[in-house]
Structure 1
Amino acid sequence: MIDQTHVEALYDCDVIDNKGEKIGSVKRVWLEDGTGRPMWAEVHTGLFGMKESFVPIQQGNVAGGAITVPVTKQQVKDAPSLHTADDHMTDDEQDALYRHYGMIPQAKTGEHDRLDDAGRRAADGRHATGQRGADDRAQRTDAAEVTLSEEKLDVGTRKVESGRVRLVKHTVTEQRNITVPVTHEEVRVVREPVADGARHTGKAFADEQAEMTLHREEPVVQKRTEATERVRLEKDAVTEQRDVKGEVRKERVEVERDGDRHDERRDRR
């Protein structure tokens, strides 16, 4: 871990990432207010060393004229660019760096751990030092503070029964008209002359009769049952947007002075 004893050794020191690749060289060191602990290194990067990037050094190790940090060269390359004024880093600028590197400080201790929750904020500001600025930083001796809280809405969903759907089968009788071709036999008389000398088969001048049976087709209706289709119910999930409203409480701070009351209201961000 890096502390105040390493500050002088950090200047012009090479910065090595967690894969052993050189990131750049240290230009300035940024210290934590109140503790003076080294927090960030402003490093020359790029092809010609023209770009300046902020690298977290809280968990770095100094050895052999180089500092090894637990981040990658690509992370440093993609780090947000800061335009610090009066050698001071604002809370928003700090938050941007912490979010980028996934680092969250423990409030007021100067200790910094890697956590998954990128929503917490650092409590103290950080200032840059010059070549020998570590001994010139002002210490905050008197302070009074209150902690403000506010409620947040956590919106989720739960599954409830909205209704039931049934498939009901019933029988319906309907008439069907179908045309069916039918055949019947009809008689026709055929006359033909008897050839000379042909044998006579009947009795001459006697009464006779000849008979034949005629046939016809009639429609016959039979019923059979067969499956025509299957019907089933299936569920599809449909997502829609719903507006949810709720009341939340927020604490505000009011500054009061003896003899002359002055109100100052600010929302905690």
Structure 2
Amino acid sequence: MDTFDHGQFIGQTLYSSDDEKVGKIGQVYLDDDTDQPEFLTVNTGLFGMNESFVPAARADVTGDGVRVPFTKDQIKDAPNVDVDGGHLDQSEERRLYEHYGMTYSERASDSGLPEEGTGLAGTTGTTAGTAAGTTGYDHSAGHDTSGPDTDHAMTRSEERLDVGTTSQEAGRARLRKYVTTEQETVTVPVKKERAVLETEPLTGENRDEALSGPDISEEEHEVVLREERPVVDKTAEPVERVRLGTETVTDEETVTEEVRKEHIEAEGDVDDRR
């Protein structure tokens, strides 16, 4: 710590071998004998509540963070170790090195940062018996494992349907006039003449007319009978006007669409007070 500013790595983003963001570096554990970085801790899991140990020997510092030759799953699945008084004993160190497929020996480690501060380098798999941890950042603050530091809360978002209307042509209507033929029956009063046989007595007024002919003879007399017959004529006349117009009616239609919603769940020993 008196040679290198190891605190500059606290809070930087740790990237895995497949260039995935693992989380923020929380602490740097130094070898007690060489005072060189031995392990880094990275905050993983939901809200960064889990802390995983990663060997510092193969770490490489770049402009956007620190990269290690281990996969993200390998780092997240690292064994949980007991830190007694800020130190790791040799059995815990051995477990960690074996998990990452690195050899372990009990001689002093020469891993660590070069004086120029361009990267974490050193002999692979050599550690001292114990390592002391430096002070990490404040775990009471919120830390986003995939990006910058945040506060204690996480924002949940969801998609909302914004439904409106648009006018478009739905069809066309037209007026068409055509002719049909129907039977129509009308009752018409008609007058007809018919012959009526009447008798009248001889009177002084009609006596001369009655005796003007022979006394005995054969005679015929006829009258013309007339009658009315229906006469049909057709006249076209306008009866009404028909106009094509439009009116607006309001219906209801149901719109169904998929929306995405974010959900937040907690991992670990958390009292859910929502």
Fold shared, TM-score > 0.5 on shorter chain: no
TM range (shorter): 0.3 to 0.5
How does the TM-score come out when normalised to structure 1?
0.42
* Bigger relative CO (Cα 8 Å, ≥ 6 apart): 2
Using structure 2 for the length normalisation, give the TM-score: 0.42
Select the structure of larger CA radius of gyration: 2
